[in-house]
Amino acid sequence: MRAAAHRNHPAWWAFLAHRLSGLALALFLPAHFLVLATAVEEASFDAFVAWTDRPLVKLAEAVLVGLLALHMAGGLRLLALEFLPWSDTQKTRIALAFGAGFAAVLLTLLMARP
């Protein structure tokens, strides 16, 4: 992608990751509310949980938790950038945000082992 060479730097990738994770969360959220309420209401929640008990669904859930952690860490980084005095450690903060996302994925996968 030569035309987009000006974008290839940490802060831009952090922006894209934050935007896409936010988008994914926003699309997932109504579904999450819907499924939760419907399943509990119709007492089919445990059947639903059984449905989610497959490796692929588990992985997807872990990724979603990871996206939430990533978006939160990236968002906190932005809030610090916008409301606290400028600091020249932006790259470190970006790395920390990505780290938090991956840590959350790993943690969820480990904890969710039956």
Partner 1 sequence: MADLVVNVWRGEGFETFRVPFLESQTVLDVVTWIQRHLDPTLSYRFACRVGMCGSCAMTVNGVPRWTCRTHVSKVAKDGRLEIRPLRNMPVIKDLAVDMAGFFDKWQEAGGRFVPTRPGVLEFARVDPENPERRQASAGIECIGCGVCYSACDVVAANPDYLGPAALNRAWTLVNDARDGDRIGHLAAVADDAGCHACHSQGSCARHCPNHLNPTGAIAGLKREVFRALLKGDL
Partner 2 sequence: MAGLGDCPAQNPLPPRERVAPKAPGEGARKDPGTPLTLPRSAWAPPSPGAGEGKTRRLELRLFLAQRLSAMVLAPLVLLHLGVILYAVRGGLSAAEILGRTKGSVLWGGLYGLFVLATAAHGSIGLRAILREWTRRPHLADTAALLFAATALVLGFRAVLVLT
DSSP 42: T
**Binding-site partner at residue 59 among partner 1, partner 2, ligand HEM, none, CB < 5 to 8 Å by type:** none
CB 15 within 8 A of CB 71: no
The residue number with the shortest CB distance to ligand HEM is 75
Number of residues that make up the chain: 114
50 vs 95, beta carbon nearer partner 2: 50
Residue 49 CA: distances (Å) to CA of 52, 110, 112, 113: 5, 18, 12, 14
User: Considering only residues 74-93, where is the footprint of ligand HEM by CB under 6 A?
Assistant: 75-76, 78-79
| Among positions 11, 26, 47, 57, the unique one binding ligand HEM when judged by CB under 6 A | 26
The answer to whether residue 60 forms part of the interface with partner 2 (CB under 8 A) is: no
* Two structure tokens written together for 26: 């926003």
